[in-house]
Amino acid sequence: MQEAPVAGETARPPADFYVIHPPDWVNVVALLPDDRVVLIEQWRHGVLHPTLEIPGGVIEAGEDPGLAAQRELAEETGYTAPTWKKIGVVEPNPAIQSNRCHTYLAIGCQPGPTRFDEHERIQTHLFPFEEALTAVAQGRIDHALCVAGLMFAWLERRGSK
């Protein structure tokens, strides 16, 4: 892919740029009736250690993002919710990726059986919502898309959106 010219800028020598085209993703901030949030801990090969995250995953080809959010929450944690709201969308890394990550708020979550994918080994943790935000501030939650999702949820709860 060639770089697009910027208006008023002098010409630059040609350069190649590479773009990865992964599918869109979803993340879920899942709240229990007592205001605890469902977090998961799973091994991440990119950083070679487990990370604390909100549930989420890949949107399958042709799948509605809201249905993907419901599917991912149930698969990874067993939780389901009667109330869902889309609270934000981010571009994970627009420098090299073309996809988007959709974040949903699941309200009133209730437990059920998990349905892990073949290579998933996930531990579920329940944190009071404010404690999850503290975990972000302390660097215990440092997955950028999860930080963004929790920020969307915080803004939603404040009525800032």
The yes or no reply on domain 25-158 and CATH 3.60.150.10 is no
pLDDT of 152 reads: 98
Which segments within the chain are labelled E, that is strand? 25-31, 36-44, 49-53, 56-58, 83-90, 101-107, 122-128
DSSP-derived secondary structure letter, 72: H
Statement: residue 1 has pLDDT above 60: no
pLDDT of 4 reads: 65
pLDDT band at 3 (very low <50, low <70, confident <90, very high): low
Q: What is the pLDDT of residues 42-73, one digit of tens each?
A: 999 999 999 999 999 999 999 999 999 999 99
Confidence (pTM): 0.89
Q: What is the pLDDT of residues 8-46, one digit of tens each?
A: 777 777 888 899 999 999 999 999 999 999 999 999 999
pLDDT of 151 reads: 98
SS3 label, residue 112: coil
What is the mean predicted confidence (pLDDT) over 114-143?
A: 92
Rounded Cα distance between 80 and 126, Å, is: 14
Rounded Cα distance between 143 and 125, Å, is: 16
pLDDT of 71 reads: 97
Statement: residue 86 has pLDDT above 70: yes
